[in-house]
Structure 1
Amino acid sequence: MNIADLVFVGFNRRVAALRRQNGEIVWEWKASHGASYVSLLLDGGTLIVSVQGYMYGLDAATGNQLWFNPMKGFGTGVTALVSLHGMSSNPLSAAAAEQAAQQASQSSNAGSTST
């Protein structure tokens, strides 16, 4: 599954990847620590997840957990996530990322067709 075909949602320490075209759940994951609000950031092929001060890295295509960091001493609350690829709280970055994914998809489709 191409991650450009997915939309990621988080509720109450749970995360799901939905098929962009029809909303079908592709994979689900539940945090082992923390409760309530979930912050998400797609950073390349890794989905960074924060749940009440606990940090997780998931494989965006499969939902498999790659890493866990309890962030001891940092406290809890709503998390702001930033990477070279975007920010969790900036809808303009999300729109730019989607446009880049669409362009990449169109380029790869154009390269795979024969004339």
Structure 2
Amino acid sequence: MNTADLVFVGFNRRVAALKRQTGELVWEWKAPNGLSYVSLLLDGEMLIASVNGYMYGLDAATGNERWYNEMKGFGTGVAALVSVNGMSSNPVMAAAEEATQASQSAGPVSTST
């Protein structure tokens, strides 16, 4: 299946791929380590999943685990993921950045009446 036809969701140590048009489950995967929160980044044909400090590389089309890194010494929490193909970060920060760019593009605001 083409990854452009999929939507990826992650929560409670689980990751799933759904068909974009129907929501039908294509595959699911459960992290063997970590608890609860999942951060995801689609990097080409690789889906990177972070589960409380544990990192996994999944084949985006099949959900098969390609690699694992326990990230010793980094701690746990919500991960911000970035690659040449995209990024994952706090949606509020992304919205704030977008608003800042929009206001800068609008030019100076006149204060006279």
TM-score when normalising by structure 2? 0.79
- Tell which structure's C-alpha radius of gyration is larger: 2
Moved over 2 A (4+): none
Any gaps of 5 or more consecutive residues in structure 2? 95-113
Any gaps of 5 or more consecutive residues in structure 1? 93-115
2:54 maps to what in 1?
Answer: 54
1:76 maps to what in 2?
Answer: 76
Matched, 1:32 2:35: no
How far apart are the structure 2 equivalents of 1:75 and 1:27? 29
Greater helix content: 1
Count of equivalent residues: 92
How far apart are the structure 1 equivalents of 2:71 and 2:53? 6
Give RMSD over aligned pairs. 1.2
Which whole-Å deviations, capped at 9, do the CAs of 1:39-60 have from their partners, x for residues lacking one? Answer: 0000000000000000000000
How far apart are the structure 1 equivalents of 2:86 and 2:67? 20
Per-residue deviation, 1:21: 0.4
